[in-house]
Amino acid sequence: MSKPHKNADKIRCDACPVMCYIADGRSGACDRYANEAGQLVRLDPLVILDRRLSDGGDVVPFLDEGSDWDGDILYAEDSFVTAIGAGTTYPDYKPAPFIVSREVDGADMVTVVTEGIFSYCGVKVKIDTDRHLGPERNLVRSQGEPVGHVTTGEYGSQMLSLGGVNHLTGGGKKEGRLTCKTLLDLCNGEAVELTIDDGSTVIVEAGKAPIVNGVTEERMRVGCGSATVGMFASQWKGLVDEVVVVDDHITGVMSEHQAGKVIGWPATGIKVKGRRSTPGRYFQVAEPGTGWGGTDVDDPLTILDAFDPAVARPGQSLLMVSTTGEQFAYFELDEDLVPQAKDMPERLMGSVARIEENCEPALCTVLFMGGAGGSLRAGVTENPVKLTRSVKQLLTNVTCGGAPCYVWPGGGITVMVDVTKMPENSFGHVPTPAIVAPIEFTLNRQDYEALGGHMGHVTPIEDAMDGMTGPQNDHILRGQKPVSQNRANPWPTEARRAVPVEQTVKSGRKSE
């Protein structure tokens, strides 16, 4: 048990390495803890998921704080104590702030709850846009400071990798501070403006459309140019002589493409610049940019060479369209076999609209990525490696604020979570700098005991919901906030409860 150290009228918070001395009535450097009449108080309420609620509830003071709340709002069987507002195990010698027990369909379950301090964490950002944001590997900046880099683009989305040890702790003080702020804002659903060296400015907000160079992106492309030709080949047959789907990745040409060949599309004598990969599929028709199909092209004819006079004929029609259907143009060859722009015929409008219809809304996705394989495991078990093994053997379910996590294979407990599946404002920070993120480990009580869990600190969930804290806690809680569970998430205690110990032994999945 640890008590806050006192210095005159100040108390010392040891919930992170900053070790603030906090005067009465003041809060510490992170605004997460305060000194209230000599007691260290965690200022944000403890968030409790309630699967019966349709919306977030109000903050409810605990009974021992003089509330007239009658306790009927929350029921243990429909509630899950998250780590949001719980406090941390730092400096890691003590058990987690809450280790709660409950019965779930006849099985005794334990959930270990703590706010982890992540000094090396980061976010992966997926931005649904064809537009070129910047060259791969180039720096991403916030307010001029490098906070990450452009990484491998994935299937019509641009990807950013932000944060991590090199920016949080390996650069200058300002770089670390702005990296931390950028991660915090992104994880808490704020809009963040990022600039990319030799590239664009993009405003990223989790779950919202990206804004690239001031233009809100509306659609994610239906596929690459080749895929688009394949998808709509039969719908264009008989309506137009040639279709070119302009795309920075693979530009598709109907008459040459296998999709056109199998439905008997005649040759047109078209010639496309760029590097021909396979019939009807062209790479590098232009430079990357924010024009047609993620190229730098504003006039699509610039990607064409002269038509072959042995094949092409005057009057031949040509549709050029981008992979989102946002840009399109119609041409007919004149007597010299030069394409001349014409009004888009009504017969082709439906096919362009079909491309747009098949595009999904463009969004920004923010995945928080942190490593729980370090010292915070000591808050769960006396033998930390056993927690790692238990997670890998699927005996322990890891959640962040009650939201499901993807746990990476290999060493450590490296988790990734979609921040939009977590309750609002789940994240905090400390000025070391580091991000504070909630993490919960749920497992069968017997398995918890077997991995060396802190059994003497297990508290019934009802007590935790009444505001009781364990003997390991050196702070009191401000109150609790019931929050509705995200309907897309599985209930956090249901993922692992059905694995009886005998079965795990038989299947060789027992943790020890």
Site map for ligand SF4, 33-72, x if CB under 6 A? x---------------------------------------
Binder of ligand SF4 out of 4, 11, 16, 255 (CB under 6 A): 16
CA distance 117 to 11: 21
For ligand SF4, which is the closer residue by CB, 376 or 443?
376
Site size with ligand SF4, rule: CB under 6 A: 13
Q: Does 286 bind ligand SF4 (CB under 6 A)?
A: no
For ligand SF4, which is the closer residue by CB, 98 or 265?
98
Binder of ligand SF4 out of 5, 6, 8, 13 (CB under 6 A): 13
User: Which region, judged by CB under 6 A, interacts with ligand SF4, from 17-25, 196-204, 383-391, 489-497?
Assistant: 17-25
Binder of ligand SF4 out of 4, 11, 20, 359 (CB under 6 A): 20
Q: Least Å distance between CB 359 and ligand SF4?
A: 45
Q: Does 437 bind ligand SF4 (CB under 6 A)?
A: no
Percent helix, strand, coil in the chain, to 5, is: 20, 35, 45
Which among 357, 317, 340 is positioned nearest to 236, based on CA atoms?
A: 317
Q: Does 353 bind ligand SF4 (CB under 6 A)?
A: no
For ligand SF4, which is the closer residue by CB, 133 or 430?
430
Structure tokens at 133: 């944001």
Q: Does 19 bind ligand SF4 (CB under 6 A)?
A: yes
CA distance 234 to 242: 12
For ligand SF4, which is the closer residue by CB, 10 or 354?
10
How many whole angstroms from its chain centre is CA 95? 29
Q: How far is CA 172 from CA 144, 167, 219, 429, in A?
A: 13, 8, 38, 18
Contact positions with ligand SF4 (CB under 6 A) in 464-503: none
262 touches 345 (CB < 8 A): no
Q: Does 11 bind ligand SF4 (CB under 6 A)?
A: no
CA distance 75 to 104: 13
Q: Does 15 bind ligand SF4 (CB under 6 A)?
A: yes
Omega before residue 433 within 30° of 0, cis = yes
User: Which region, judged by CB under 6 A, interacts with ligand SF4, from 27-35, 91-99, 102-110, 457-465?
Assistant: 27-35
3-state SS, residue 334: coil
Binder of ligand SF4 out of 29, 59, 139, 495 (CB under 6 A): 29
* CA-angle at 348, arms to 346 and 354, nearest 5°: 120
401 touches 83 (CB < 8 A): yes
How many whole angstroms from its chain centre is CA 419? 5
Q: Least Å distance between CB 40 and ligand SF4?
A: 8
Q: Does 32 bind ligand SF4 (CB under 6 A)?
A: yes
Q: Does 18 bind ligand SF4 (CB under 6 A)?
A: yes
Q: Does 430 bind ligand SF4 (CB under 6 A)?
A: yes
Q: Does 378 bind ligand SF4 (CB under 6 A)?
A: no
Amino acid making up residue 29: A
Burial class from Cβ neighbours inside 10 Å (0-12, 13-18, 19+) for residue 111 reads buried
Q: Does 97 bind ligand SF4 (CB under 6 A)?
A: no
Q: Which residue, judged by CB position, is nearest to ligand SF4 in the bound state? A: 28
Q: Does 320 bind ligand SF4 (CB under 6 A)?
A: no
Q: How far is CA 445 from CA 438, 442, 502, in A?
A: 21, 9, 14
CA distance 466 to 480: 9
Q: Does 236 bind ligand SF4 (CB under 6 A)?
A: no
Helix residue spans in 300-361 (DSSP H): 346-357
For ligand SF4, which is the closer residue by CB, 15 or 187?
15
The number of residues making up the chain comes to 512
Using CB under 6 A as the criterion, which residues of the chain lie in contact with ligand SF4 when the complex forms?
13, 15-16, 18-20, 28-30, 32-33, 430-431
